[in-house]
Amino acid sequence: MNAQSPHSFPPEIPLAQSAARRAGAVLTIDLAAIQANFRLLRARANGLDCAAVVKADAYGLGAAQVAPALAAAGCRRFFVAHLEEGIALRQVLPDEEIFVLHGLPRDTEIEALNHRLIPVLNTLGQVDAWAGLARSRERRLPAVLHVDTGMARLGLTEADVRVIANDPARLDGLTLRYVMSHLAAAEDPSNPSNARQLQRFEQLRTQLPPTPASFANSSGVFLGAAFHFDLLRPGAALYGVAPVPGRDNPMHPVVRLQGRVLQVATVPAGSPVGYNGRFVADGAMRVATVSVGYADGFPRTLGNRAAAGCDGARLPVIGAVSMDMITLDVSALPDNRLYPGALVDVIGGDADSLDAVAAKGGTIAYEILTSLGSRYWRHYTGAEAAPLHPHSR
């Protein structure tokens, strides 16, 4: 067995792709699964509109690939966090609506206008600047008003809403597309803050001009119809994250991370494995070293915790996670199954699921996704359903 073996690559990856052959790990992103997740969320909302949140480069999965796939599945509205993300997204989405959650930094309003971006206005200052531009151009500009309903993070306060209610001319020039708010604990259906925020949202809406509303993130979609309003705003669930942790995950898995085996060795009982000997072999054991580490976003907290997988076998991570490597107990596999160059599942497939990796690492799947490494060879599947717009090339 050697690295040239054709069995060392997933059959769908052409051997001619030399970047794939060089890479220490392969990240497969299933665009068809993202499309299926979009349809599933939209179906839950019974004919309501469903946007897609693609901030942070579509949660680390690549907005330039993910957003056109979602558009091909019928998504017409996209949310990013930063203005800069909106400008980049406009290159691949010429026709869809793009909303900027952070609103606009001072004196960037014209750039947002030039790229046909719709700001989410979080402060009275942002309202005044955007409305001021509309009035100076003698045209109406679209906007979303974000009201804070109990997070104290972003959005107009109750006092700000009262200011607008007492001086509605402040909105002159704006076409309000939505009034929105964001849930602080939607993934926990038993948390009383959900109902409290809902009540405050409904109350604040009555003080503003009648406008469609948007409230639910991924988990909010699963809190029931009272939380749906006019536009759903899921992110994580599109990418396969369980909307209610600990319950059955209705979403299709989207990411599969496969790491390349660097070497396999049989070690005797008593051998320490990895930095500081945080694992000691209790019997003779086969150890495979795999080229994924914390520099690739595989959390160091997963030392001695997570399990990789191959051919249906669980391959426990033993010892510490290094910067560029993990060590696995592969005794469960036949001696000749793994060899340098072979790939094993590290997230998804036969390994722990994305959600399990996050839970074992003491974090959330959002953080695992957005930390996925830049050294992976990224392989998109299902892309035939999502032709890239020519401008994106």
Ligand X SMILES: *Cc1c(COP(=O)(O)O)cnc(C)c1O
Where along the sequence are the contacts to ligand X (CB under 6 A)?
A: 53, 55, 101, 182, 217-219, 233-237
Instruction: Provide the 8-state DSSP code for 127.
Output: H
Which residue in this structure is represented by tokens 């909106």? 86
The enclosing H or E element of 55 equals helix 55-59
Q: Which is nearer to ligand X, 180 or 261 (CB)?
A: 180
Q: Are 125 and 117 in contact (CB under 8 A)?
A: no
CA–CA distance from 392 to each of 27, 30, 55, 93, 388 (Å)?
21, 19, 18, 9, 7
Query: Is position 360 annotated as part of the catalytic site?
Result: no
Min dist CB 251 to ligand X, Å, is: 11
Nearer to ligand X, 28 or 218 (CB): 218
Out of 178, 275, 294, 380, which one is annotated catalytic? Answer: 275
**Min CB(156)–ligand X separation in Å:** 13
Alpha-carbon gap, residue 135 to 165, rounded angstroms: 20
Name the residue type at position 153: R
Tell me what percent of the chain is helix, strand and coil, each rounded to the nearest 5: 35, 20, 45
> d(Cα 54, Cα 56) in Å, to the nearest integer?
7
- Nearest to ligand X of 151, 383 (CB atom): 151
**CA angle, 389 as apex, 73 and 61 as ends, to 5°?**
65
By Cβ distance, which residue is nearest to ligand X?
Answer: 235
Task: Evaluate whether 332 touches 307 at the Cβ level (below 8 Å).
Answer: no
Q: In the numeric block, which tokens belong to residue 230?
A: 């006019």
> Would you say 115 and 78 are in contact if contact means Cβ atoms under 8 Å apart?
no
Nearest to 79 by CA among 50, 115, 41, 122: 50
Catalytic annotation, pick one of 55, 59, 178, 294 = 55
CA distances (Å), origin 260, targets 22, 279, 324, 347? 10, 21, 11, 13
Q: How far is the CB of 164 from ligand X (least distance, A)?
A: 20
Instruction: Please report how close the Cβ of residue 219 comes to ligand X at its closest, in angstroms.
Output: 6
Which of 55/305 has CB closer to ligand X? 55
With respect to ligand X, which residue has the nearer C-beta, 251 or 292? 251
Cβ-based nearer residue to ligand X, 3 or 226: 226
Q: Which residues are catalytic?
A: 55, 275
